[in-house]
Amino acid sequence: MQPAPPKKDQEGFKNSRVRQKNIQVILEAAEEEFVASGYKGASIRDIAHRAGLPKANVHYYFNSKIELYSAVLSHIMELWQSVFSGLNPEDEPGTAFRKFIHAKMKYVVAHSKASRIFSSEILHGAQHLKEHMHPFNDWIQEKSEVIQGWIAQGKMKSVDPVHLLFSIWATTQYYADYSAQVAFVLGKETLSEQDIESYTDSVCQIILVGVGLDI
């Protein structure tokens, strides 16, 4: 029978769990507030209110609004990187693009608040996002080389890999960032899972046919 951990270690583990839980609650509340009010309009007081925590508790983990905003952006980029591991040299291009487009769509729909914060930051000059962009740039470079390899092997049409990736990003991102407009045009209150699936299939068809791949 294993001996129980020392009381000091038990307390340390408990404190660590409380810390992680509080930080997660604060980050989720911050996402909601930054979406609702933008960076300039958001305040630590309102974020604390959304989190159900005293303002002092938020300041305990984050010294300022800019530090909290930076943590939210960092969390968004970590989420993004954890999802998109496809488009590898050994993949079949048509299957790889189809899986990637579906994964990207599922991500932006599941994390619509994060998507809107990211887009808003880009539209405002990406002043606070620049320090978080290096992994994204590395990913673009890596996947562009994969696509260029497929082109060299005659597996797809010759297109600019970077602009192809931007096109996929833009078409999928639109459904999260402008879902209200899309729903209005379609005569719906909100978009259903079937709507999203149908749109994703259309994007796959447009992209794959455009680069000379079978659908």
The CATH superfamily label for domain 67-210 reads Tetracycline Repressor, domain 2 (1.10.357.10)
Q: Which residue has the tokens 């960076």?
A: 39
pLDDT confidence of residue 13: 46
CA distance 160 to 87: 15
7 half-sphere exposure, CB direction, 13 A CA radius: 0
Is residue 148 a contact partner of residue 89, using CB atoms and an 8 Å limit? no
Give the CA distances from residue 19 to residues 12, 32, 54, 60, 147, in Å, rounded to whole numbers and listed in that order: 10, 20, 14, 10, 43
Q: What is the residue extent of each domain of the chain? A: 1-63, 67-210
pLDDT confidence of residue 7: 54
pLDDT confidence of residue 6: 58
- Of 176, 186, 169, nearest to 35 (Cα)? 176
Q: Which two tokens stand for residue 89?
A: 């040299």
pLDDT confidence of residue 14: 55
Which residues in the chain show pLDDT less than 70? 1-15, 82-84
CATH class, domain 1-63, is mainly alpha
pLDDT confidence of residue 126: 76
Is residue 116 a contact partner of residue 180, using CB atoms and an 8 Å limit? no
Is residue 169 a contact partner of residue 87, using CB atoms and an 8 Å limit? no
CA distance 116 to 35: 7
pLDDT confidence of residue 104: 87
pLDDT confidence of residue 75: 81
Is residue 114 a contact partner of residue 79, using CB atoms and an 8 Å limit? yes
